[in-house]
Structure formats: structure tokens, C-alpha cells
Amino acid sequence: MESDIELMLRTKAGDDSAFSELMNRHYKGVLNYIYRFTNLRENSEDLAQEVFLRVYRSASKYRPEAKFTTWLYKIATNVSLTHVKKKNANVSLDEMNENTGEYEDSEVEISDDIIYRKEMKKVIFKAMETLPEREKIAIMLCKYEGLSYEETADVLECTVGAVKAYVHRGRMKLVNKLKPYLTGEGEYGL
Amino acid sequence: MDCKNIKELLIQYSLGDLGHVEKASVESHLDSCSECKSYLFETKNLWNLLEARDEIEPDTDFLSNFWDKAAVDEVKLKPGFLSWFRDIKPNWTLAGAMASIFLVSIITFSALSPDTRNSLFMSSDEQDELILIELDNALSRETADVLSIYGAWDGGTDVDGGIN
């Protein structure tokens, strides 16, 4: 299997099928990263397309110096941050929380499990939103996207030690905020 | 180590990032501290809890949508004939400022430049030319005076009627 870098170099040489292959590999990851970042399902698809358009546009200038995924997630982070900042000027957090990303059908009976999952998504999103930007990004990249500390450090343009500190501090804050859901004794305990 | 220090190490401990010495001291502390033990349980649970955020599936036609957008994008970005001129947008503020600077420059230049009509000094070229004419005249007069002792040059009678 060709590496991401090889595919990107083929794209640079004008082979669009190589870029389609790259999208097949990474589109879902970027889409979900943006979705978790913004909590807005309908915008996530447009933003993911915007990320790949930016990558495609800059393919002619691509130099295989860093891992492709760190470059990709750096762009995805910038696109998400810009969108969230623009959106926050107009939309309140409550409105964002209301949009849980699911299309509801009042005719369908909603099971307890679905209600619980919806509730948990809201709670987690709210808790993540309270974290400082870098702690939130570090946790999202390490936890959800499976990036290593080194790769996350490249995305955030900081040291590996700083990333570890961001993850650690963010995790401690999340433990405090989500305590009722973590003990195993509360209403939502696991 | 106290509970605060142990809590700092618990995430690294749960990830297996600690060295032998630190790992041993964390484990001995956990044996005797129920608070830290439950904190470790919570941090482990947190990572599981975060899994509760669902994943979404891409649109089935995400690739064709992308290539449609890329094609539109390419047309927009391609420089067409006279596109440079089309892209120029008149900036009236800048134009006004440039015109003001031009006018002020002309007025200042006119006010500061010397009026040559009433000046005691002429331009250097004219002055040089006059000096040269004057010198030439002086030399001609001097030569004529010196040669006058020999009488007229044409070999005939001089102006005074004398014989050469």
C-alpha cells in the first residue's frame, strides 16, 4: 500500500486519483474531528470538504517534510477554530448544545439508551468546551484521532512535554467536571 | 509522595509511561490510599466515557461533491484574459490622497524655486558663455593692439596712410 506521502506526491504531479485515495483514507477521521470540535453535524461535511480543498490547492507546494496526517489535522484544526469563533459571535453555547447532530423523529419511540447517549454527548461536549483551546485540541487529537504525542506536538507547534501537560491538565479537569458520571455509583455511572 | 503528587502521575501510570521507581511508589501508595485508588478509577473511566461521543458517516457522494467543488474552485482561480484588470478595484481614498500629494508638491516646488527673471545671477551655462565671449574679445583687442605697430595686415596702406 502506498504511503500518504507517496499519494500526495502523485497528486502534486497531477494525478487526481491519488488524492481521491487520500480522501478515502482520511475523510471520515477529519469529518468526525470537525464534528466533535463544532458539535454541528450539518456544517461538518462542508468544513471537511473545505479542509481537503485547501490541501488539494496547496498540493503544488507540498514538500514531504512532516507526516501527512499532522499537516491535515493542522488545517482541520484551523478551519474548525475559525468556524467556531465565527459561530460563537452569533450562536450561544446553549444553541450549540441543542444541536446534538441527530435528526429526530417524534413518531419513533426513543429508547432509554438513546436518551442516555444523547445526554452523555451533551455533557461531554459541554465539559470539553470549558477546557482551554490547547488542552481540548490535545485531548481530541490523542484520544479520538489516535495521534501520538509527537504528532500532536507538530499540529500544535509545541514540544512533546507541553502536549503531555495539556492532556494531563485537561484530563484532570474533565475528571472533576464529569465526576458524577465516572464513579460508578451515580445515576449515569458506568 | 503525597496524594497531590500521586494524582499527577496516575495518568502516566495508567498509560504505562512511568519508570520502575515511580511505578513502584505509585503502586505502594495506591495500596494504602482509597482516595487515590478511586481517582485512578475515575481517570480510567473518563477515557471510556469519552467514547460515548458518537461517530458520523460521510455522505456517500462526498468524493464527487469534492471534485465538483474543486472544478468550480479551479475555474475561479485560473487567471483569464484581462483578469488582472478585472480584479483592480478603484480605491478612491488612495486616488484622492495621491492627487493631494501631487498638488501640494507642485505648489511647494513653485513657491520655493527662484525667479530667474529678477535674479542677479544667471544660470551657470549663460554665465560661462558670457565669460568666454568677454575673454575672446579681450584677447582680440590685445592682439590687435600688439600687431598695430606693423601696420595694416593686407600689405597696403594702413588706415593712417603710412607705408609698410
Domain ranges of chain A: 1-92, 102-190
Nearest-by-Cβ selection for B50 from A31, A124, A184: A124
Q: Which residue of B has its CA nearest to A181?
A: B49
Summarize pLDDT for B23-48 with one digit per residue, the tens: 899 999 999 998 888 888 888 888 78
pLDDT for the residue numbered B83: 55
Question: Which of A33-42, B6-15, B80-89, B154-163: highest mean pLDDT?
Answer: A33-42
Q: Maximum distance among all alpha carbons in chain B?
A: 151
| Residue B37 to chain A, least CA–CA distance (Å) | 11
Asked whether residue B147 carries a pLDDT value surpassing 70, the answer given is yes
Check CB contact of B43 with chain A, cutoff 8 Å: yes
Going by C-alpha positions, the residue among A62, A96, A77 that lies closest to residue A30 is A77
Query: What CATH number has the domain spanning A1-92?
Result: 1.10.1740.10
Check CB contact of B57 with chain A, cutoff 8 Å: yes
Question: How does DSSP classify residue A111?
Answer: P
Q: How far is CA A48 from CA A20, A23, A42, A168, B123, in A?
A: 14, 10, 11, 28, 74
Q: Which residue has the cell 468556524?
A: A83
Query: What CATH number has the domain spanning A102-190?
Result: 1.10.10.10
Contacting residues for A99 by C-beta, under 8 A, at least 6 apart:
A39, A40, A41
Contact between chains at B46 and A174 (C-beta distance less than 8 A) = yes
Chain B positions touching A144 (Cβ under 8 A) are 50, 53
Using pLDDT thresholds of 50, 70 and 90, give the confidence band for residue B86. low
Nearest-by-Cβ selection for B63 from A20, A44, A184: A20
Q: How far is CA A53 from CA A37, A47, A64, A97, in A?
A: 19, 10, 18, 28
Please tell me the distance from the alpha carbon of residue A156 to that of residue A162, in angstroms, as a whole number: 10
**Contacts by residues A79-83 (CB-CB < 8 Å, ≥ 24 positions apart):** A79/A34, A79/A47, A79/A50, A79/A51, A79/A54, A80/A33, A80/A34, A80/A37, A80/A38, A80/A47, A81/A37, A81/A133, A83/A38, A83/A43, A83/A47
Lowest mean pLDDT segment, chosen from A157-161, B7-11, B81-85, B100-104: B81-85
Asked whether residue B10 carries a pLDDT value surpassing 50, the answer given is yes
Beta strands in chain A (DSSP E): none
Going by C-alpha positions, the residue among A36, A50, A1, A42 that lies closest to residue A22 is A1
Asked whether residue B69 carries a pLDDT value surpassing 70, the answer given is yes
Q: How far is CA B120 from CA B114, B124, B130, B131, in A?
A: 11, 12, 14, 15
pLDDT for the residue numbered A4: 92
Q: Residue B20, Cβ neighbours under 10 Å: how many?
A: 7
| Residue B86 to chain A, least CA–CA distance (Å) | 23
Asked whether residue B74 carries a pLDDT value surpassing 90, the answer given is no
Q: Which residue of B has its CA nearest to A41?
A: B56
Choose between A68 and B151: higher pLDDT. A68
Chain B positions touching A115 (Cβ under 8 A) are none
Per residue of chain A (190 residues), give pLDDT as tens.
Answer: 889 999 999 999 999 999 999 999 999 999 999 998 888 888 899 999 999 999 999 888 888 887 889 889 999 999 999 988 887 666 554 554 444 444 444 444 556 667 777 787 888 888 998 999 999 999 999 988 889 999 999 999 999 989 988 998 898 899 888 888 876 544 433 3
Chain B positions touching A120 (Cβ under 8 A) are 49, 52-53
Q: Residue A61, Cβ neighbours under 10 Å: how many?
A: 7
Computed over every residue of chain B, the mean pLDDT equals 77
pLDDT for the residue numbered A24: 95
Task: Tell me the three state secondary structure of residue A54.
Answer: helix
Please tell me the distance from the alpha carbon of residue A36 to that of residue B56, in angstroms, as a whole number: 10
Q: Which residue of A has its CA nearest to B50?
A: A124
Give the up-direction half-sphere exposure of residue B148: CA atoms within 13 A in the CB hemisphere.
9
| Residue B82 to chain A, least CA–CA distance (Å) | 23
pLDDT for the residue numbered B77: 61
Contact between chains at A49 and B69 (C-beta distance less than 8 A) = yes
Cell numbers linked to B108: 511647494
Q: Residue B135, Cβ neighbours under 10 Å: how many?
A: 10
Check CB contact of B66 with chain A, cutoff 8 Å: yes
Q: Which residue has the cell 495521534?
A: A147
Asked whether residue B118 carries a pLDDT value surpassing 60, the answer given is no
Measured N-to-C along each axis, helices A160-177 and A112-129 cross at an angle, to the nearest 10 degrees, of 130
